[in-house]
Structure 1
Amino acid sequence: MKKIQSLLLLVCIILIPHFGPAQTTSDLLQKLTILFPKAEITRIENLAGYSESYQLILEEPLDHNNPPKGTFKHYVYLSHLDFNKPTVIETHGYQTVNIKSEVSTLLNANQIAVEYRFYGKSRPEPLPWEYLTNDQAIADYHDLVMKLKQIYSGKWISTGISKGGETALIYKSKYPDDVAVVMP
C-alpha cells in the first residue's frame, strides 16, 4: 500500500507541472467578473443550444446623472454561444423570464435578457418613482452594452415585445451606435 501511495505521489509531482491545476472557472465567467466586479454572478441552467448561461445581479444607479443617490439590484440573464457571434439584447417590459427569443434563435446569437428597472425582481425598497423614466432605463442598457462590447465583438441587435419593443426603439434612438439593428 505504501508503494502505491509513493507511486501516486511521484506521478502527481511529475504530471502537475505539465498539465497545471484543473480549470474550474470558465473564460466567460472570468471576463464577467472583471467587467462587473460588484455584481452577483450565478451560473444557471443553459437555454437550448447555449454553452453557458448566467444570472447577473448588477448594482445599478438609481439616477445615472447623480450616482450618489443610491443603487438598486438589476437582474440580467446572459446566454453565451461565442464571443464573435452576434449578440441580441432583449429588453423586457415588466418581468424577465429567461427564455430563448425568436431573434436569438434566428440569428444563432448570444442573448442578453434585461428586466426593465423597478419591475419584476429589479425593484428597490422603497421604490423611488421619480427615477422610473425611459431615460434612466435606457442608460441602464447603454452602460451594460458598453461593458459587454468589450468581450462580444459581433454585431449587436436589440429586440423586445410590447413595452420591451417600445424600449428597444427608444434605446436605438438615444444611443444609435450601441446596436446595429432594432427589431421590435
Structure 2
Amino acid sequence: MPKPCRLIFSLLGLIALANASKFMIMGRPRHGFVPTPIFSTEGDTVAAANYQYQFRQILDHFDDMNNQTWLQQYWYNPSYYQPGGPIFLMLGGESPAGLKWVTEESLTFMVLAKKYNAAVFQLEHRFYGKSRPTPDQSIANLKWLSSRQALEDAATFIRAMNDMYSYQWVNSSKWVTFGGSYSGALSAWMRERHPELVAGAIASSGPVFAKMDFSGKSRCN
C-alpha cells in the first residue's frame, strides 16, 4: 500500500478511536451494555405526570443521630402487573434517570416485565438528575455520595413501596433489581446485601469487584 494511503488509513483509525473513547469506558459502553434509551420526547411532560413521583429518603443511613431527609425521584408503572407477579426495580447509576425506562416497551427490561406480569420502578441515584440530597456538591457534602448509601437508599425504598402499594400487589414480595455498568454492580450487591428484600438481580456489565481507585484509560476491545 502506498505511504500516503497508509497515512490516511492511520489518521482515520485515530479519529475512530478518539470517537469511540467518548462512548467506551474500560472497554465497555457507557452505562454498560444497557445504554440510555433515545426516543422522541413528544408528550413526555404529560406522561411524566402519570409515572413520576418523589420519595422522602434518609440522608445518612449509617448515622442514627442524623435525621435529615431529601426527595428522591422515582418512576412507577404497574400496567403489566397481575396478581402474583414480581416487582422489577431498575437502579439508577451515574446519570439522570428518566421516564422511558418504565414506558418504552421495546426495552428488554420492559419486555421481561410484560412476560412475567411485573410492576416496574426506576429509582434515581442520589446526587444525579433531580435527586439532590444537598444544596450543592461541595467536598463536605459529597461524603454522602457512595455506593453504600445508594444500596441503603434502595433497601429503604423497597420497604416503603411494600407498605405503600400492598393494597395493589397480591402475594407479591419478590423484587428483582436491574442495572448496567455501575448500577449493574449495585444490582448484584443488593441481592448480596439484602437477600431478605431482593429475590434476584440482573447485572449487565457490572464491575462487581470494587476498587478504592477505579482509574484507567478508555480503550476498545
Normalised by the length of structure 2, the TM-score is 0.56
Shifted more, 129-138 versus 57-66: the winner is 57-66
| 5+ residue gaps, structure 1 | 1-42, 47-51
Q: Which aligned pairs between 1:83-98 and structure 2 lie closer than 5 A?
A: 84=83, 85-93=85-93, 94-98=95-99
Shift of 1:60: 1.3
2:142 matches 1:133: no
Q: Percent sequence identity over matched residues?
A: 22
- 1:77 maps to 75
2:180 matches 1:156: no
Shifted more, 122-131 versus 64-73: the winner is 64-73
* Number of matched pairs: 137
1:117-172 per-residue CA deviation (whole Å, 9 max, x = no partner) reads 11111122123111111111111110111122231342321101222111111111
* Distance (whole Å) between structure 2 residues aligned to residue 140 and residue 131 of structure 1: 11
Cα pair distance change 1:55/1:44, threshold 3 Å:
farther
Alpha-carbon RMSD across the aligned residues, in angstroms, is 2.3
* Distance (whole Å) between structure 2 residues aligned to residue 95 and residue 111 of structure 1: 18
* Distance (whole Å) between structure 2 residues aligned to residue 107 and residue 113 of structure 1: 13
Cα pair distance change 1:178/1:104, threshold 3 Å:
farther
Q: Which aligned pairs between 1:44-123 and structure 2 lie closer than 5 A?
A: 45=47, 53-66=50-63, 68-81=66-79, 82=81, 84=83, 85-93=85-93, 94-99=95-100, 100=102, 101-108=107-114, 109-123=118-132
- 1:179 maps to 198
Normalised by the length of structure 1, the TM-score is 0.66
| 5+ residue gaps, structure 2 | 1-44, 204-221
Letter in 2 for 1:131: W
Q: Which secondary structure does the structure 2 equivalent of 1:167 belong to?
A: helix
Q: Which has the higher contact order (CA 8 A, sep 6+)?
A: 2
* Distance (whole Å) between structure 2 residues aligned to residue 163 and residue 56 of structure 1: 23
* Distance (whole Å) between structure 1 residues aligned to residue 122 and residue 96 of structure 2: 10
1:44/1:55 contact within 8 Å kept: no
